[in-house]
Chains A and B, each alone.
Chain A
Amino acid sequence: MANSHQLKRVDFIFRNENDWERVLSNTIKKKPQELINELISSELKGRGGAGFPTGLKWKLTSEAPDGQKYVICNADEGEPGTFKDREILSKVPYKVLTAMAVCGYVAGANQGYIYLRGEYKFLKPELEKAIDEFEYYCKEINLDFKITIFMGSGAYICGEETALMESMEGKRGEPRNKPPFPSQAGYLGKPTVINNVETLVHTFTIFKYGSKKFYDLGVQYSRGTKLFSVSGDTPKPGIYELELGMSLQDFVYEFGDGDTKAVQVGGASGFLVPRKKFKDAAIGFKGKLTGISLPTGGSMMLFNSSRSMFNVLDNYLEFFREESCGQCTPCRVGCQQLLLGIKAVKRGDKPASYLEKLLRLTETMQYTAKCGLGQSVANSFSSIVENFREEMIY
């Protein structure tokens, strides 16, 4: 693998943030266009999962007609196996706040929101203290920017950016039709930049050290570093900042327990990679073997040979069946059918060939579901069923 290289631990994200005031005041001395160019040349892509180029996102919102605009930090970290944003918000909150303010400056927004996962309520008091201090400093340097925390209520779907905005507007958290995208019509119908917590922190790094420092890390299409939430059958679960582009083989050498059977990359909505494909799978936005980008915020779940892949899939599907918002047919009914379907095959009520019918159904879900949730159920389903077909049947 040309793109693959040795695992490299990096420390940008949790590095000292004491200089945030200086970073903020220096950054906003530059022109918005300069900052956008800086971001674009860093090739930073969204760390929430979808991998949309961050610079472009900011650019689109900054180009939207003047008027009320918003910056939202998506801290509704709900993907199973992901716990990095919690760590960021508790360890380096000022970096997030600084990045939001810079984003507001670039996009022309004077109001920011942090959409905080309901289960992270315990972070709120500390975060509010930080916001107080931060806003005080903004006032000192004459930067008009306010940040408000909005508490989520525990629905996974509200991590989807448009469902998140619906939820903020006091409505039921259901994804919207796109277009229009948030950069044109987001929160309250106003142009909105919405970034994942980690993405924002990377912009802090870029503004502090320059885009080159970031760009030089990682590989083509996947620049910079990424936080990984490592869990499952590993002797050292935790959060690690790694350079993008590593092979899964190297990852498993570092984090596996010597008996790793498969790794679920990207949480329940990501892909399962079996042992035989470790060395070909690169972790980045154009991983060759998985064929598809690393889908979410860096959840890495390791499974050893004691694990039943049927149970793993069963668990994911139960999660999706419950967490689908229920509005669109392919996702709402599809998830129920997939879950009941694999159980029926396992029990022998349906023939093994029923799995093929279910695979075709996941294809339809991928093509037709309204949002990323329904579209990505196919990822774990097909990668598990295709690689561990035997475990599904017997």
Chain B
Amino acid sequence: MSKKINLTINGFPVEIETGKTILEAAEKQGIKIPTLCYHKDLCVAGNCRVCVVEVAGQKRLSAACATPCEEGMEILTNSLKVRNSRKHIIELLLTEHNADCTKCYRNGNCELQTLASEYKIMTQDFIELVPLKKYSIDAYSPSIMKDDSKCIRCQRCVRTCAELQGVNALTVAHKGDEMKITTFFEKHMRDVVCTNCGQCVNHCPTGALVEKNYIEEVWEAIADPKKHVVVQTAPAVRVGLGEELGLQAGSRVTGQMVAALKRLGFDSVLDTDFTADLTIMEEGTELLTRLKKALVDKDDSVELPMATSCSPGWIKYIEHMYPEHLGNLSTCKSPQQMFGALVKTYYAKARNLEPDSIVSVSIMPCTAKKFEAFRPEMYDSGYRDVDYVLTTRELAILIKQAGLDFDKLQPVKFDRLMGESSGAAVIFGATGGVMEAALRTAYEIVTGREVPFENLNITPVRGMEGIREATIKIEDPVEDWAFLDGVELKCAVAHGLINAKTVMDEVKSGKADYHFIEFMACPGGCLGGGGQPIPTNPEIRQKRAEAIYAEDGALSIRKSHENPEVLKLYKDFLKKPLGEVSHHLLHTKYTKRERY
């Protein structure tokens, strides 16, 4: 029990635990204090100063986000002094900010704009600083655009990149009027150690960091009668999209999303879940093969632990930071890229289409996927496997532009051939999901029995803790896998690159004795991806996770190896996991990248 203290806010008594800030105390009272640099994911910076409040007896105002409550404090959150100061600060920010709102990608979802609107900043008495600054736009990355003229220097992106991701691609440079957020040696974002995870985009209060959007390109493809436009949707999109369209966080909108995509004019609306299941088949087999080589053949060259490879942010991270461990990565492509490679081969053949007439679009909770689709390795179909990657947010824009009343759409099922999903595939969207899906399949292949968890829910790998571990003992395996009898399969799950770093440092030092590790670049996994609705914070991630697991529970097929379309794919096309065709289309290699 922590001690309680008493104070008043605007004259009303408040009781609160020690250690809470004024901002938290006010929130408890239902009083919203405006903030800009504050974000629940991040450490307190206290640099924008819009949250200032008056504490009786003090001449200076206090930043509510950074000031702990004290016994007997009398706080005013809306005194004239506070209002005038706050207004000044907003006005000052606007002089430095390119407030050409109608031409801004974040128009309508910008924290500065909202604040300016609330405080009715109608005139600009101070001197416009924007024309005096040499602001630049960095549009060279395939994933992220950085426009310094929109930056309010709150450093949320900097803290995100450092604290959540441990990447430090973005940093503060210079001082005074020249202070800016930039990269190592002010290079373009595509030329520095940036994983394209887009967490900076998700945490940016304004339009300074946005995804590179491909909305017009997709509309053009849809309008082209000669093109057959196929769309795939990632698991996490269906639990995030609703937020962008006015629904509560955690709304499951799979059916409406499919209906909307059909109405937008996509020729075929398919599911990345299908290749998520396929990933499990390939990756699970790969893991078992590695284990066999290590345990039976005593092959020292086998690299264990095996690490998942679904998250392109994680892939670029390991390529930069731990290139000596690229051999630990599963050679499986991500579900998006497996899908892309199959669309222009398997799907084209089955539907009797010319591959070059197919435009392959994917909807992802992710900005790194945009970069991934550009990788030179991703042309295995003979064409570019995935043509355009849109984020969850971009899909919402398409839906709004098309004037669809999303909430009223009747749920529709995905089209067939590459549209079937198991529950195991859906949980790819949550941290620990790939691990859980893999275990459901691998355990069953090895033992012939279902995983020994109630209702197939492998709860030890679920949750939001940054690093989680689980051990599953294999007992009484089937004949082919007899060598695994008694083996304790050691698994770990890490999400957020800062946690990936901790695990990789252990792997590097040889301390980690895991067999299999799931890495996700973003906190919470894909459901907290850089391409997901803004805001994303711990509570919202939790709600999306609950939605993901509910989606899994509601599906009749819960295991990847029972997905009938996947079985058909092997029968008709791939023949077997890790087979010749798989090797060509579904697996890839990685590139060592520089650290500077």
Contact = CB atoms under 8 A, between A and B. Distances in A.
B457 interface: no
Interface stretch (B80-88, B327-335, B472-480, B582-590): B80-88
Interface string B47-67: 111101000000111010011
A322 B68 contact: no
B46 A330 contact: no
Contacts of B92: 329-330, 333-334, 337
B247 interface: no
Nearest to B51: A368
A112 to B, nearest CB: 28
B93 interface: yes
B175 A155 contact: yes
A337 B93 CA distance: 11
Interface string A331-348: 011111100110010000
A51 to B, nearest CB: 15
Given A177-B44, A329-B93, A324 B175 contact: yes
Contact of B48 (A326, A328, A360, A361): A328
A324 B176 contact: yes
Interface of A: 155, 157, 172, 174, 177, 179, 320-330, 332-337, 340-341, 344, 357, 360-361, 364, 366-370, 375
A322 B127 contact: no
A314 to B, nearest CB: 15
A323 B176 contact: yes
Interface in B159-201: 172, 174-179
B563 interface: no
| Category for how many chain B residues contact A | 35 or more
Nearest to B97: A333
Interface of A is mostly: helix
A322 B84 CA distance: 26
A208 B333 CA distance: 76
B300 interface: no
Contacts of A340: 127, 129, 132
A335 B48 contact: no
Given A328-B47, A370-B47, A321 B93 contact: no
Contact of B88 (A157, A364, A370): A364
26 contacts: A321-B176, A324-B176, A324-B179, A325-B175, A326-B153, A326-B179, A327-B45, A328-B49, A329-B48, A329-B153, A330-B88, A330-B89, A330-B92, A335-B177, A336-B177, A337-B95, A341-B126, A341-B127, A344-B127, A361-B126, A366-B60, A367-B52, A367-B60, A367-B61, A368-B52, A368-B88
By secondary structure, the B interface counts as loop
Contacts of A324: 175-177, 179
B220 interface: no
Interface of B: 44-50, 52, 59-61, 63, 66-68, 81, 84-85, 88-89, 92-93, 95-96, 125-127, 129, 132, 152-153, 155, 172, 174-179
Contacts of A336: 96, 129, 177
B82 to A, nearest CB: 9
A367 B84 CA distance: 11
B59 A367 contact: yes
Contacts of B45: 327
A334 B66 CA distance: 21
A370 B175 contact: no
B155 A327 contact: yes
A332 B47 CA distance: 10
Contact of B46 (A325, A344, A364, A370): A370
A149 to B, nearest CB: 24
A333 B129 contact: yes
A177 B88 contact: no
B60 A177 contact: no
Given A322-B178, A329-B49, 13 more contacts: A322-B176, A323-B175, A325-B176, A326-B174, A327-B153, A329-B50, A332-B176, A333-B92, A344-B127, A364-B88, A367-B60, A368-B61, A370-B63
Contacts of B172: 172, 174, 326-327
B129 A368 contact: no
A326 B49 CA distance: 13
Contacts of A341: 126-127
A350 to B, nearest CB: 8
Contacts of B49: 328-330, 368-370
Most chain A beta-carbon contacts within 10 A, residue among B60, B88, B132, B155: B88
B7 to A, nearest CB: 15
A235 B96 CA distance: 45
A321 B85 contact: no
Contacts of A370: 46-47, 49, 63
